[in-house]
């Protein structure tokens, strides 16, 4: 599971334990106040020391504070991208301010102890990036004249194994530099993410990652929980694009829910279009054709029991996207998840099998009303798929502040045999009503008999 240096969505890459949703872990919120004294690990290389000394003037800590007091709600990192005080960080570092500007404010701290206010110019929730600017207090403050870090040209791609250097303020302890290696892009990811072999920690979210020449190659964004030296970076090209298009933008003063909704709506359109274009693959079940997606941007795991203690033969498969989009501390969206379970209860008999089979269907959780979404609204119907009878339940939960977006859940169970059956589930987070209908229909179309002999 991934910690977005806030708990992606979120990457769940580590076996069956990672079948839980990819999560983004909140920026660190330690009890001690920020320490603005640069600190070096005891055993860093000459290159790391050189790069830190060259770039420390452009390295920042980004703090989200309560509006009426200096208590911090979250803390991350950032870096200067213009000589006029423009700053890049992660969207999840400043999301509280973006969505509740009446309750929060943004502050920066430099490595030499300077501090001041920040304003939000733009963000890219899909890439988990934000562009800020230091507020000029009219007294010579702000961040003008401190220089800027430059992005590595896209025409000069890194080679796998090259040394790169992550910077930030981990756990609000002190500014630091961490050496690691570039290992290419994460496989089967919907959007590009750099696989960084290095130990970055909460609080470093939004900090720069530099090559040997001091160019920005990526932005710290997440790390895999329960793994060592497995972290992830937003490629620098997306940060460079955000800077280029929004350098002259006016500050965002009001809650940015509508801007966020528009970004998520565009993203889900692209996601659904690509997913619907992929043909289903077979689960290799002897009786049923069960829908399994191509693993272009999803990852699948499976397990089974030859016969459990109750005599029920069982096989399970689950596929999901590794990445989710961060909305707020209690909400992530923008991902697909699906699973199926196939049962053979011939050793149990029809009555005992029916009890366990129907119990599996009833145990599926569909969510309840919360601060972010409504309670699920569900419809049940029996469907015939070329002679294969299915019981289908389709549920939608609407987002309260992201108008037009929904969470979709589809439950399907076969009802053709007294001691055999299959249960399938499909979930899509943050899709439009029209796309929810398309996805539900597409999923149901994936069920059929394996062959004519199974009927």
Sign of CA dihedral 152, 198, 329, 426: positive
33-37, 263-267, 280-284, 319-323: range with lowest mean pLDDT: 33-37
Please answer whether residues 173 and 210 qualify as being in contact, where contact means their C-beta atoms are separated by less than 8 angstroms.
no
Closest by CA position to 341, among listed 320, 317, 359, 362: 317
pLDDT category at 136 given cuts 50, 70, 90 is confident
More confident residue, 33 or 317: 317
- Alpha carbon separation from 433 to 405, 406, 437 (Å, rounded): 7, 7, 6
- Alpha carbon separation from 220 to 6, 66, 202, 230, 448 (Å, rounded): 11, 25, 10, 12, 45
CA distance 108 to 87: 10
According to the model, what pLDDT value does residue 17 have? 30
- DSSP per residue over 388-412, as a string? EEEEEEEEEEEBSSSTT-EEEEEEE
Cα 187 to the chain's mean position, in Å?
Answer: 15
Please answer whether residues 288 and 422 qualify as being in contact, where contact means their C-beta atoms are separated by less than 8 angstroms.
yes
Strand stretches in 309-449, DSSP E: 313-320, 325-328, 331-333, 336-344, 377-385, 388-398, 406-414, 420-431, 448-449
pLDDT category at 123 given cuts 50, 70, 90 is very high
What's the Rg (C-alpha) of the chain? 25
According to the model, what pLDDT value does residue 232 have? 94
Share of the chain above pLDDT 70, in %: 86
- DSSP per residue over 262-290, as a string? HHHHHHHHHHHHHHHTSPPB----SSEE-
Residue-wise pLDDT tens digits, 22-35: 333 334 444 444 43
Residue-wise pLDDT tens digits, 58-79: 999 999 999 988 888 889 999 9
Residues 424-434, mean pLDDT to the nearest whole number? 97
The helix-helix angle for 433-445 and 257-276 (nearest 10°) equals 20
More confident residue, 225 or 192: 192
**Which residues lie below 8 Å from residue 230, measured CB to CB, with a gap of 6+?**
13, 195, 197, 223, 224
CA distance 70 to 299: 43
Residues 251-260, mean pLDDT to the nearest whole number? 97
The model's pTM is 0.86
CA distance 448 to 195: 39
Residues 340-364, mean pLDDT to the nearest whole number? 85
Sign of CA dihedral 210, 216, 220, 223: negative
pLDDT category at 298 given cuts 50, 70, 90 is very high
- All structural domains of the chain, each given as residue ranges with its CATH number in brackets, are 2-254 (2.40.10.120), 262-454 (3.40.1000)
According to the model, what pLDDT value does residue 246 have? 98
Flag whether pLDDT at 116 surpasses 60: yes
- The mean pLDDT of the chain is 87
What is the token pair recorded at 250? 């006016």
Residue-wise pLDDT tens digits, 269-279: 999 999 999 99
CA distance 300 to 227: 19
Q: Hey, how many other C-beta atoms are within 10 angstroms of the C-beta on 224?
A: 22
Flag whether pLDDT at 11 surpasses 70: no
pLDDT category at 14 given cuts 50, 70, 90 is very low
Q: How far apart are the first and last CA of the chain?
A: 41
**Which residues lie below 8 Å from residue 319, measured CB to CB, with a gap of 6+?**
292, 293, 295, 298, 299, 300, 301, 337, 338, 339
Flag whether pLDDT at 83 surpasses 70: yes
Please answer whether residues 348 and 310 qualify as being in contact, where contact means their C-beta atoms are separated by less than 8 angstroms.
yes
5-14, 142-151, 344-353: range with lowest mean pLDDT: 5-14
What is the token pair recorded at 90? 């992660």
Strands in 420-431's sheet, in edge-to-edge order, are 299-305, 313-320, 336-344, 420-431, 406-414, 388-398, 377-385
According to the model, what pLDDT value does residue 424 have? 95
How many distinct helices (H) and strands (E) make up the chain? 6, 24
- Alpha carbon separation from 339 to 171, 287, 332, 343, 383 (Å, rounded): 37, 17, 20, 14, 19
According to the model, what pLDDT value does residue 213 have? 96
According to the model, what pLDDT value does residue 142 have? 80
pLDDT category at 40 given cuts 50, 70, 90 is very low
């Amino acid at each position: 599971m991934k910690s977005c240096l806030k708990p992606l969505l979120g990457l769940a890459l580590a076996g069956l334990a990672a079948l839980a949703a990819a999560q983004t872990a909140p920026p660190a919120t330690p009890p001690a106040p920020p320490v603005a004294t640069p600190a070096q690990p005891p055993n860093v290389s000459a290159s790391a020391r050189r790069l830190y000394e060259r770039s420390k003037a452009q390295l920042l800590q980004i703090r989200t504070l309560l509006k009426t007091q200096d208590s911090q709600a979250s803390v991350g990192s950032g870096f200067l991208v213009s000589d006029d005080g423009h700053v890049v960080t992660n969207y999840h570092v400043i999301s509280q301010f973006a969505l509740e500007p009446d309750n929060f404010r943004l502050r920066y701290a430099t490595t030499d102890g300077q501090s001041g206010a920040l304003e939000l110019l733009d963000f890219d929730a899909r890439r988990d990036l934000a562009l800020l600017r230091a507020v000029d207090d009219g007294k010579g403050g702000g961040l003008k004249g401190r220089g800027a870090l430059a992005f590595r040209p896209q025409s000069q791609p890194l080679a796998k194994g090259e040394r790169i250097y992550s910077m930030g303020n981990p756990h609000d302890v002190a500014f630091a530099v961490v050496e690691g290696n570039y290992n290419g892009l994460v496989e089967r990811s919907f959007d590009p993410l750099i696989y960084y072999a290095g130990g970055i920690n909460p609080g470093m979210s939004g900090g720069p990652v530099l090559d040997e020449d001091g160019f920005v190659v990526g932005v710290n964004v997440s790390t895999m929980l329960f793994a060592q030296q497995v972290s992830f970076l937003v490629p620098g090209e997306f940060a460079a694009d955000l800077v280029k298009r929004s350098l002259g933008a006016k500050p965002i003063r009001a809650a940015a829910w509508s801007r966020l909704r528009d970004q998520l709506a565009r993203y889900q359109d692209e996601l659904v279009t690509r997913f619907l274009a992929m043909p289903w693959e077979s689960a290799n079940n002897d009786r049923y054709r069960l829908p399994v997606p191509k693993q272009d941007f999803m990852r699948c795991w499976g397990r089974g029991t030859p016969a459990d203690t109750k005599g029920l033969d069982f096989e399970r498969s689950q596929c999901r996207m590794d990445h989710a989009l961060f909305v707020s501390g209690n909400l992530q969206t923008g991902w697909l998840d699906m699973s199926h379970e196939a049962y053979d209860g011939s050793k149990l008999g029809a009555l005992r099998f029916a009890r366990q089979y129907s119990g599996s269907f009833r145990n599926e959780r569909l969510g309840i009303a919360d601060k972010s979404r409504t309670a699920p609204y569900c419809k049940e119907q029996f469907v015939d798929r070329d002679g294969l009878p299915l019981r289908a339940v389709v549920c939608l939960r609407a987002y309260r502040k992201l108008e037009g977006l929904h969470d979709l859940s589809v439950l399907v169970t076969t009802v053709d045999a007294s001691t055999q059956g299959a249960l399938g589930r499909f979930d899509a987070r943050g899709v439009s009503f029209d796309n929810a209908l398309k996805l539900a229909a597409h999923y149901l179309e994936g069920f059929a008999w394996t062959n004519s002999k199974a009927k």
